[in-house]
Structure 1
């Protein structure tokens, strides 16, 4: 179980899922930094979950993410966990309705994932128990024409996360050390109503040995 020595960054924290994650981490005694683009929404989150620190950052901007990392390391230290919740939905209209505009909006979540995982990779590897999790969709396994853009972005995000998992394993193997960091994919059909379930599943990642969960896909809710 996480404790107050650990530090977790919640990327895309201004959503309902971000609020659930902040509450779950705070309830477990974990230090959390909630990151988003909207200062007002972050302010409301801070009021709802006392003790959670907030940072305004456009995670699609690589330079901004690097500055964020420097601020977090200076103020809080290196992170032990990263919960990526940047997302959204745009779809419908069959294959012909999959516009470039919708794709670019959805693609921002993947761009943000690339930036934050690359920037904080050393932190997670150095941690005694580094954990990364993303929220994906069951649409990856069965994509539909009306959600092709969405499924494609989620599939790319899953592939990237699995590559991060491989990097964790390779670094540990090359160093002759036990694996301490793990990257996990949570798949849901829809997040509505499952925000607390997903948040609790993230917190529980620290209950498991890294080697047993690294590079795994967990469908929620579980039977």
Structure 2
């Protein structure tokens, strides 16, 4: 199996990492659904990502579609899932990219305002994974991947808010993995869906490795991949 011909939804695609990951997926022949709140930024992303289709001989099926949606709004994400299903677009991969950094100032500097801003990333993980859970389970090769941080294993006082949100996202992802495994056992079917955590020290310096690893998720059997934490630091 490969990612070629698969449909992968990038949730929060207008983040700095979105373009690199979209290009890698399109270059490998995937259909990318790029989702974000700003239509103008999404259109710019699509225009920048499309040359990857022409640059790769393996990208016969590579394409990109953009969808405006607030990824922390459960009703909007549910409507997006319905809209894609009605168009015959069944999701094989989901990668939440909503994120950001706020920190510093030791423990006393960890403000409630900063935490609530960072918490949006965890909310997007929860909302999108629930909305597309059925699609990922039904896929021949469903993949759910989050980008986490080495701060989870070694949290610092000045990044306590950030580490806490990343730790919560990792726990949620492992619960998704358990759900995939249980569904396969209950139906006496082979495991076809996998949920994984990709840990990096800093996304800016690791984004090319992250993009390559996301493409490779479809090269590995789900049973080997599910519930893994892959350290890319």
Structure 1 length as normaliser, TM-score? 0.97
**C-alpha contact 1:16 1:195 (8 A) present in aligned 2:** no
Shift of 1:76: 4.3
**Residue 172 (structure 2) pairs with residue 160 (structure 1):** yes
Shift of 1:194: 1.6
**Residue 8 (structure 2) pairs with residue 8 (structure 1):** yes
Report the Cα distance in structure 2 between the residues aligned to 1:42 and 1:162, rounded to whole angstroms.
30
* Structure 2: 5+ residue stretches without partners: 51-62
Out of 114, 119, 131, the residue aligned to residue 126 of structure 2 is 114
Aligned counterpart, 1:62: 74
Shift of 1:193: 2.4
Report the Cα distance in structure 1 between the residues aligned to 2:212 and 2:18, rounded to whole angstroms.
12
Aligned counterpart, 1:135: 147
Q: Cα deviation per residue 1:88-144 (whole Å; 9 max; x = unaligned)?
A: 100001000100000000000000110000010000000000000000000000000
Structure 2 length as normaliser, TM-score? 0.93
Ranges of 4+ aligned residues in structure 1 off by more than 2 Å: none
Change in Cα spacing, 1:76 to 1:200, as seen in structure 2 (3 Å) is farther
Aligned counterpart, 2:110: 98
2:196 aligns to what SS in structure 1? strand
Question: Aligned residues, how many?
Answer: 220
Report the Cα distance in structure 1 between the residues aligned to 2:83 and 2:8, rounded to whole angstroms.
14
Shift of 1:75: 2.2
2:94 aligns to what SS in structure 1? strand
* Structure 1: 5+ residue stretches without partners: none
Aligned counterpart, 2:49: 49
